[in-house]
Structure 1
Amino acid sequence: MLRTARLLTGNHHDAEDLVQSALVKAYVKWERVRRADEPDAYVWRIMINANTDRVRLLRVREWLTTRVPECPVPDRADDIAERGALTEALSRLPARQRAVIVLRYLEDRSESEVADILGTHVGTVRSHAARALYRLREQPGVLAEWAGLPDAARTGVGPRPEEARS
């Protein structure tokens, strides 16, 4: 959960807070969680909803950035730079699309699992994924680092989400 929360929030400390608040909410509603068909998906959905609420609050109060305006210094470590690029690219996506990409491709969950966690239909997951991948394709070099994505997504070619439906 912490790894997913880190990808959703873009910050390790916020990720820890997100996981903690999700687990607290699950504990408070434990009887309801225990009776659910998929308790794991129920807790994941609590975390996704808590992140969505957090993002709504942040839009009003503060603007987060990975760069300090006074003295931008590029990170020298390749793995940290790639992770930073991925985090920055994910931060540009709407919360629902980000959740679909993180759960579907980075957590390697099936479309039906993602739909269960988010409480939506498989078609909605597919459309969110298509739109998010299209937006990520517009950012050069970001998708090339992700293993497991379709070749069209990695190369940055392929139909727009509207064209994919036909």
Structure 2
Amino acid sequence: MVTTMTPTAFETWVRPRLPDLLRFGYLVTGSYDAAQDAVQTALASAYEKWEHVSTRDHPEQYVRRMITNAHISAWRAHGRRQVPVAEPTPGHLPDPSAAIADHDAVWRMCAGLPPQQRAAVVLRFYEDLDYAEIARVLDCPEATARSHIHRALIRLRTQLTSGDPS
């Protein structure tokens, strides 16, 4: 299918948003490589459908949903969840600040969540979207978005109280 859209309009839209889309991709996937793959897949698809995507009310949310779906599709195709490589033991590195240690602990717990729960948590707490917006991005009912977040928080709370960060 050949589109009549010029690359300039799409590039003009993508260029200022690419760092945010890559950050979002990293937060959803837990891996820089997987984030780049998901963003590239989503942007290639968005480029092919740009005439349709650009006329939507919120094209950026639509592309973010495409990134999430690209990651979930890749995860399903491989039949397993990709777990980020464990960090080196603290004894081999200079002692990081408490804030960085806390951030790492939270991220490790989030990385252990199922992809849709992790995406919902990222959208809610990193992107500060409300439940209706999360539902639009994940293409699910608002109640399902709430359920993803609720279940993720229960799992995270359980990990925190048990002292098991994995």
Please give the TM-score of this superposition, normalised by the length of structure 2.
Answer: 0.72
2:89 counterpart (63, 70, 73): 73
Aligned length: 137
Aligned CA distance change for structure 1 residues 63 and 100 (closer, same or farther; 3 Å): closer
**1:54 has 2:74 as partner:** yes
Asked whether the equivalents of residues 31 and 84 of structure 2 are also in contact (C-alpha less than 8 Å), the reply is: no
1:13-53, Cα deviation, whole Å (9 max, x unpaired): 32223222221111111122123233222111100100101
Secondary structure at the aligned position of 1:120 is classed as coil
Shift of 1:80: 4.0
Q: Whole-Å Cα distance in 1 between the matches of residues 158 and 105 of structure 2?
A: 13
**1:103 has 2:123 as partner:** yes
Q: Whole-Å Cα distance in 1 between the matches of residues 118 and 23 of structure 2?
A: 14
Asked whether the equivalents of residues 124 and 131 of structure 2 are also in contact (C-alpha less than 8 Å), the reply is: yes
Please give the TM-score of this superposition, normalised by the length of structure 1.
Answer: 0.72
Q: Which residue of 1 aligns with 2:83?
A: 64
Q: Which residue of 2 aligns with 1:129?
A: 149
Structure 2 portions without partners, runs of 5+: 1-20, 162-166
Aligned CA distance change for structure 1 residues 63 and 40 (closer, same or farther; 3 Å): closer
Shift of 1:65: 4.3
Q: Residues 76-91 of structure 1 correspond to what in structure 2 (within 5 A)?
A: 76-78=95-97, 79-91=99-111
1:43-76, Cα deviation, whole Å (9 max, x unpaired): 111001001012223445x8534327xxx51253
